[in-house]
Amino acid sequence: MRGLRVRLWQGGLLLGFLLLWEWASRTGRIDPFFFSYPSEIAQRVWRWFATGEVYPHLYVTTVEMLLAFALGTLLGVALGLWLALSPKAAAVLDPYVKALNAIPRVVLAPIFTLWFGLGILSKVALGVTLVFFVAFFNTYQGVKEVPPVVLQNARLLGARPSHLLRHVYLPAAASWIFSSLRTSIGFAVIGAVVGEYLGSAAGLGYLIAQAEGVFDTTGVFAGMVVLMAFVLVLDALVGAVERRLLVWRPKEREGGTA
Amino acid sequence: MSFLEFRRLSVAFGDYVAVEGVSLQVAEGEFVSLVGPTGCGKSTLLNAAAGLLSPSEGEVWVAGRPLKGLNPVAGYLFQQDAILPWKTALDNVALPLVFRGTPWGEARERARAWLAKVGLERFAQRFPHQLSGGQRKRVGLAQVLIADPKLLLMDEPFSALDVQTRQLMENELLRLWQEDRKTVLFVTHDLEEAIALSDRVVVMAAGPRSRPIGEFPIPLPRPRDVAEVRLTPEFLRLHREIWELLRGEVMRAHAGA
């Protein structure tokens, strides 16, 4: 019952906001040239999907972000494991990791465009630089926080390094890695879209940039809506996988933010 | 013949010398308890016997050889929960066999038998957080025993349990130990527990620079029931005798703390 009431409030809030927006635009309280109308944005999104003109762009962005997501996560987890398990390497590489992470990633976009061209590679590269650090720091932290007594117990029970990795370190880091995955998806999309926005011939970022170029605010907002829905779907997918893989975790307080 | 032997063993952590010049022998199949006030280095000795700590001086001998690295014949039951929270009770118990190269199927089968031995066959698929403290200890015990260690090291394993559960676990431990008489080194700060379980009780001095200061054979007949044996006159006599020595050390530890 409580869940239903929350849902009703959530739906009501969205509906109220959209109605207010529509009303303000229709009555001229805000300039429709800059803010468009929710109804028109919805129509535009509908038309994009109905005519199919959005699919090639959606496809390109999806490929870019999935590649960035997968590659960045893989590299981040691998390096996170390595540095967490090898304090010497961590001590040597620490300033480099910090320095690289200090670069605002957007300024890398032009150089990646020069290196990798206008195709999907430059966007994937940009996404990887964002996703990598999230996965890296979380894996590192997760491995570092394995309770020492669990580790000693496993070693005394005869675990070799490969066993420790498989049965102790990775499962222990898993909850950290999963929480990082949800952030990573957002970052992968940022990488892809910003890359497209700065120079490309296809993708949702390109679509938004084109719309912006002709002062088509409806198109800009429609692009944002599609992106948002896209990220929400991926987030739900990761959440479902997470629930399956982390069944061993004690339930957080019931009724909390889920 | 002694199975485990500390030879003039000292362990220091930086400037702090936890134990110094400890010489102690534990015979094969003997159940020995170490008692002493908090901070007397009981756990340090246990960790040295497990090979988790390397001594700053002296040696640990196991089965006639000096110990190097982790002790391969020791099973260690920790004070805290040390089973893997992300594995079911069954998989936790099966794990030591898997580490030794047994396929999962066979390992689970044997683990099921061990779970039954500690009375948890109905809880095989539960995760540790779904078990009570006593049940988690049973899983831990089965996990340690399934690998059939020659030497069992126990660090206040039951101290976090309530009194009833604790006596149940102590009796359970004695029952399992009775089956094949492993060599046991049991650390506790509870003198009654030490007397009820052991063949011999060793009293440690208050730290730092702790070492054994008294040994008491416990000639109580076996098999014992830990609750009943506490009421016998012989038990009370032993308790009085050992406490006489232990009390002074407890006072010293308090004065130092």
B160 touches chain A (CB under 8 A): no
Dihedral pair phi/psi, residue B187, rounded to 5°: -105, 130
CA diameter of chain A: 75
Residue A137 structure tokens: 């720091």
pLDDT digits (tens, 9 = 90+) for B135-145: 999 999 999 99
User: Are the C-beta atoms of B141 and B173 separated by less than 8 Å?
Assistant: yes
User: Are the C-beta atoms of A208 and A200 separated by less than 8 Å?
Assistant: no
pLDDT confidence tier of residue A253, bands split at 50, 70 and 90: very low
pLDDT digits (tens, 9 = 90+) for B174-229: 999 998 899 999 999 899 999 999 999 999 988 788 889 999 999 999 889 998 99
What pLDDT sits at residue B39? 77
ipTM metric: 0.87
Q: pTM of the full predicted structure? A: 0.81
> Mean pLDDT, to the nearest integer, of A158-174?
91
Pairwise CA distance, residues A111 & A21, whole Å: 40
What pLDDT sits at residue A255? 38
A104 touches chain B (CB under 8 A): no
Pairwise CA distance, residues A193 & A186, whole Å: 11
Among A69-83, A120-134, A189-203, B78-92, the minimum mean pLDDT is found in A189-203
Average pLDDT, chain B: 91
> What's the fold here for domain B2-73+149-256?
Rossmann fold (3.40.50)
Locate the chain A residue with the closest alpha carbon to B51: A156
What pLDDT sits at residue B257? 57
Query: Angle at which helices A55-85 and A87-102 pack, to 10 degrees?
Result: 140
pLDDT confidence tier of residue A256, bands split at 50, 70 and 90: very low
Residue A232 structure tokens: 């929400």
User: Are the C-beta atoms of A160 and A107 separated by less than 8 Å?
Assistant: no
**Interior/surface letters B98-130, b for 16+ CB within 10 angstroms, e for the rest:** bbeebeeeebbeebbebbebbebeebbebbbee
Architecture category of domain A37-245 in CATH: Orthogonal Bundle (1.10)
**Which 3 state secondary structure label does DSSP give B142?**
helix
Find the CB nearest A156 among B76, B86, B128. Answer: B76
Pairing status of strand B2-13 against strand B74-77: unpaired
pLDDT digits (tens, 9 = 90+) for A49-84: 999 989 999 999 999 999 999 999 999 999 999 999
What pLDDT sits at residue A257? 36
Q: Where are the domains of chain B?
A: 2-73+149-256
Residue B20 has pLDDT above 70, yes or no: yes
CB atoms within 10 A of CB A111: 12
Residue A157 structure tokens: 């029970």
> Mean pLDDT, to the nearest integer, of A169-186?
87
A102 touches chain B (CB under 8 A): no
Of A212, A206, A202, residue with least CA distance to A36: A212
What pLDDT sits at residue A252? 59
pLDDT digits (tens, 9 = 90+) for B33-58: 999 888 778 889 999 999 999 999 99
User: Are the C-beta atoms of A105 and A126 separated by less than 8 Å?
Assistant: yes
What pLDDT sits at residue A1? 67
Of A123, A121, A120, A134, residue with least CA distance to A75: A134
Report chain A residues whose CB lies below 8 A from the CB of B76.
152-153, 156
Pairwise CA distance, residues A100 & A97, whole Å: 5
Report chain B residues whose CB lies below 8 A from the CB of A150.
82-85
Q: How far apart are the CA of A143 and the nearest CA of chain B, in angstroms?
A: 14
Q: Where are the domains of chain A?
A: 1-35, 37-245
Residue B105 has pLDDT above 90, yes or no: yes
